[in-house]
Amino acid sequence: MSQAQNEKTPGLSADEEQEVSHNQPPRAAVLHEIIRAQGDQELERTLAALWWSALAAGLTMGLSLMAMGLFYARLPDNDSSQVIASLGYAAGFLAVILARQQLFTENTLTAVLPVMTAPTLANLGRLIRLWTVVLMGNLAGTLLVAWVMLELPIFDSKTDVAFLEIGRKVMHNDPSQMFAKGIISGWMIATMVWMIPSMENAKIWIILMITYLMALGDFTHIVVGSVEVSYLVWAGEQTWPSFWLEFALPTLAGNIIGGSFIFALISHAQVRSDSGKPPSKLLDDEQESPIKKGRES
């Protein structure tokens, strides 16, 4: 009898032992394979499907600016208002993720794992194709929704001022701060994506917790920030060169590094190091994969 069997609690029935096994949290290899499989599915989608989903996500992200602006316009003008208004930052993320729309910073983890598992030129080409289409779709949606929020008579003047203040706060960062804060933001989004498969029933709370902390920390995010800063550009307070060079490029680089080259690489290395095998091979000896259970349910 093995040492592991000797250490088991005595007196458990077969049904109770099965219940113990069922209630174990999924291994890191299982989470890795779930996310890798999701990423592989995304890499196989058509350009049209990716574009329209990404455009919808960009438009939907306007909810984050909208919610924060509405909060700020109705809260007293002091530092504590950010504690409440930051809850609005989660609105766009909740809508995009629950609606299964294409968000670029999600893909810095999900679409990267298939490439790390099988690092071929073909997979790298599929990743670049996905990133390009999704990023362009997200940005097109954010620029459009920012213009609509400014030009159409939707909000009162106090809320319009709040939108401007939110964008100004983003642009107070210099490019190096945009980059550094973007790394943290990309890492936090990747953490959120990694957590969700193991706690599917708590998905809403995970999204809310992570994105709320992002707002409190004023970390920069390429998609939400594009709504905030392009609102300033449409209002005439910033120029398009400033949007691209001072905000978009450093923030995008930070998000990619935080999500792909830090979190995804470390997570992949952790799982690969467990047995020296590719993560997808670690599941071969299990009688019933938790992935299959999740799909069947």
Of 250 and 34, the structure prediction assigns the larger pLDDT to 250
Confidence of residue 198 (pLDDT cuts 50, 70, 90): confident
What is the arithmetic mean of pLDDT over 54-71? 98
Round to whole Å and give the CA distance between 222 and 57. Answer: 13
Predicted confidence at residue 291, as pLDDT, reads: 40
Q: Return all residues near 79 (Cβ < 8 A) that are at least 6 apart.
A: none
Which residues have C-beta within 8 Å of that of residue 248, sequence separation ≥ 6? 139, 222, 225, 226, 229
Q: What's the pTM value of the predicted model, to 2 decimals?
A: 0.84
The gap between the terminal CA atoms of the chain, to the nearest Å, is: 35
What CA–CA distance (Å, rounded) separates 275 from 281? Answer: 10
- Read off the pLDDT of residues 221-271 as tens digits, 9 standing for 90 and up: 999 999 999 999 999 999 999 999 999 999 999 999 999 888 777 877 777
Q: What is the pLDDT of residues 136-175, one digit of tens each?
A: 999 999 999 999 999 999 999 999 999 999 999 999 999 9
Does 275 have pLDDT greater than 80? Answer: no
Is residue 110 pLDDT above 50, yes or no? yes
Whole-number pLDDT of residue 64? 98
Domain boundaries defined on the chain: 24-291
User: Does the pLDDT at position 127 exceed 90?
Assistant: yes
Statement: 24-291 belongs to CATH 1.20.1080.10: yes
Task: Give the position of tokens 């029933």.
Answer: 201
d(CA 173, CA 209): 24
* pLDDT score at 75: 95
> Is 297 a residue whose pLDDT tops 50?
no
Which residue pairs from 86-91 have beta carbons closer than 8 angstroms and sit at least 24 positions apart in sequence?
86/212, 86/215, 86/216, 87/208, 87/212, 87/215, 88/64, 88/215, 89/64, 89/211, 89/212, 89/214, 89/215, 89/224, 90/64, 90/207, 90/208, 90/211, 90/212, 90/215, 91/63, 91/64, 91/66, 91/67
Whether 282 has a pLDDT exceeding 80, the answer reads: no
Go through the chain and tell me how many residues it has.
297
Residues 259-268: tens digit of each pLDDT: 988 877 787 7
pLDDT higher for 283 or 222? 222
pLDDT value at residue 139: 98
**Cβ contacts of residue 189 below 8 Å, gap of 6+?**
105, 106, 108, 109, 210, 214, 221, 255, 258, 259
